[in-house]
Structure 1
């Protein structure tokens, strides 16, 4: 997803981002559960599927490919060059771009914006979260629906601990350990992959946003929260999907 590496933003080291083909093995998509939920949310609040959608932190583009079946105008953006290269090879019919979600400006608006896979959680500093919110607003017009997949700070114990890869060229298992840093509102994940060739270590810090805090950021950028949704799938048990509508700047 949209993984930032500059100062004050998440320091990420991840085997799956370096090898995107493995990302879709480990995260199998649970029969497109996230994309199907997004379809439901968009229909609930638009009365139909949107005609245009921007996916920020699109990763390999799998969710966007599913949504593009019923949305004719879609664009995917991610900060990781390897993920976008893979997405372009696998899904050449979709427009993908390498961009920083804090500074992205496409010069147009969309009926819907999605940001899945804890992409926003990889932005740590308050000023950078504001920049991302400004990006959402810059690509919205009144009525645009925004969907954010967030880590529920009260359900971090539901985050996955075990991971598995079993393909012809690679067999590996991983155990993830999590550590809270309350003063920074960060959740640190250390993950160690065990494979025949030796150990590989992953590291990421996630920024935790509490509901009223998220509401504050969204409201400051002219979004109103419409509701929160959950998935029954076990691998998404720590996720909350927050829907918001852009009301536009008041005259």
Structure 2
């Protein structure tokens, strides 16, 4: 398990919620309906914001520590531990969101298909899906691939420095990340490497169609740009017909 997976408080420092992403999700919920399902909700940051905006979100995450933290921070909320491929809830949602790196942990086509089918089954007819993935196009351009990056975070006066080694497996269409953490008063921590699936726009659209979705739109950012597709994030919107 990685340090971030073990430490929900540090996760909240590292992964701030972009305002433009929240506004985008709120706008989609206004169109689709208030029953929102956040798959990969982590510590419930997005669910809490949506509840404050008058929505009725439910959060699901595979990490029990994150769910415990979400329940502590949002006692009125509803949170469940579950795998995105196999979780089962009784409520059919108006809008299902899967943001950040969550969906990219589907490393094989079989896993992608299983997850999208489960998403389809948890939406009401006419319900909407928003899924955010790592864009493979960003790794095919002329810009050199960064093998090493360094990031500094501060939590309550404690500085944490993360050095990330990146790798690419072009055959598997995956990117690997291995993080080494340095914190004052702590031993150097080297996390296990994690892999993320890279998906091309039309590849993602095909998987959505096979899973039964329609009205698919592909975006290059939370501002709604559908032109460049050169950034690392690829956003898809789709509808369960009915």
TM-score calculated relative to the size of structure 1: 0.83
Say whether the 8 Å CA contact 2:146–2:166 is kept in structure 1: no
Q: Give the 3 Å change call, closer, same or farther, for CA 136–159 of structure 1 in structure 2.
A: farther
Counterpart for residue 226 of structure 2: none
1:200 to 189, 192, 214: 189
Task: Provide Cα deviations, 1:193-251, integer angstroms capped at 9, x if missing partner.
Answer: 1222221123210011111211111111211213324047xxxx522221111114xxx
1:240 matched to 2:234? The reply is yes
Q: Give the 3 Å change call, closer, same or farther, for CA 51–231 of structure 1 in structure 2.
A: closer
Counterpart for residue 5 of structure 1: none
1:154 matched to 2:131? The reply is no
Say whether the 8 Å CA contact 1:52–1:71 is kept in structure 2: no
In structure 2, distance between residues paired with 1:40 and 1:150: 20
Task: Provide Cα deviations, 1:98-140, integer angstroms capped at 9, x if missing partner.
Answer: 0111111213311100001121101112222111111111111
2:65 to 74, 82, 87: 82
Q: Which has the higher contact order (CA 8 A, sep 6+)?
A: 1
Q: Counterparts in 2 of 1:19-98, with a 5 A limit?
A: 19-30=7-18, 32-43=19-30, 46=31, 50-98=33-81
Counterpart for residue 212 of structure 2: 222
TM-score calculated relative to the size of structure 2: 0.85
What stretches of structure 2 of length at least 5 have no aligned partner?
140-144, 224-230
RMSD: 2.2
SS at match of 1:54: strand
Q: Give the 3 Å change call, closer, same or farther, for CA 201–80 of structure 1 in structure 2.
A: same
Of stretches 67-76 and 134-143 in structure 1, the one that deviates more from structure 2 is 67-76
Counterpart for residue 132 of structure 1: 115
Counterpart for residue 3 of structure 1: none
What stretches of structure 1 of length at least 5 have no aligned partner?
1-12
Say whether the 8 Å CA contact 2:148–2:166 is kept in structure 1: no
In structure 2, distance between residues paired with 1:33 and 1:191: 27
Q: Shift of residue 35 of structure 1?
A: 1.7
In structure 2, distance between residues paired with 1:64 and 1:188: 29
Say whether the 8 Å CA contact 1:123–1:129 is kept in structure 2: yes
Of stretches 237-246 and 54-63 in structure 1, the one that deviates more from structure 2 is 237-246
